[in-house]
A and B are shown apart, each in its own frame.
Chain A
Amino acid sequence: GAVVSQHPSWVICKSGTSVKIECRSLDFQATTMFWYRQFPKQSLMLMATSNEGSKATYEQGVEKDKFLINHASLTLSTLTVTSAHPEDSSFYICSATDDGSYEQYFGPGTRLTVT
């Protein structure tokens, strides 16, 4: 149980285009999901908190107009990187909080490369 999936697992896009990444909790409901970013050989940094049915909360320094988050259901959150640039290339990882246990479960990550 407690599986979180991400799609796609990797994506290459051209500079200036937008990319959508999906995060799904497969066997539990998650009112709250989180998006993290991890640059090579670095730690995970929290980008934003995604709440079902309400606006996301962004960490300081994260542009909300560039990283659009939609939490349309209790099992799905999406992160859209708009007008992507090479410096947005990173490993994006989501986590979902089980509404029953408050445990956070991480997805396998999405490798974004912007050329």
Chain B
Amino acid sequence: GQQLNQSPQSMFIQEGEDVSMNCTSSSIFNTWLWYKQDPGEGPVLLIALYKAGELTSNGRLTAQFGITRKDSFLNISASIPSDVGIYFCAGRWGGADGLTFGKGTHLIIQP
């Protein structure tokens, strides 16, 4: 099946640094979603974006739905140890459709 192009694949950062990751697609989506997955658990929704150009924040997280509807980015400001994990972007065409996921960004925070 299709996968979205997500980068970077992994990030090694110091606590307190800002983080940025992005996702691109060859096809258009009407919804972009960002999830965090901890080992052995299901993904947890962080931010949902429903309109092209939309910029949405959730605490230290900010995400944008690209104007072309083929990309999205997620920023995390002032990273803390509990931000460690794997972040996935996901796109959806229709409200009742399954999700197409990116390959994930593994965030590692060095003390």
Residue ranges of A at the interface with B (Cβ–Cβ < 8 Å): 4, 6, 32, 34, 36, 42-46, 49, 59-61, 91, 93, 95, 97, 102-109, 111
Contacts and interface: CB of A to CB of B under 8 A. Distances in A.
Given A43-B88, A44-B88, A103-B48, A108 B99 contact: no
For chain B, give the interface size range.
Answer: 20 to 34
Nearest to B104: A43
Nearest to A106: B42
A4 B43 CA distance: 12
B40 A61 contact: no
A109 B103 contact: no
Interface of B: 1, 3, 35, 40-45, 48, 88, 95-104
B98 A108 contact: no
Contacts of B99: 34, 44, 46, 95, 104
What DSSP secondary structure best describes chain A's contact surface?
Answer: strand
A7 B97 CA distance: 24
A43 B101 contact: yes
A61 B1 contact: yes
A109 B42 contact: yes
A47 to B, nearest CB: 9
B13 to A, nearest CB: 20
A108 B96 contact: no
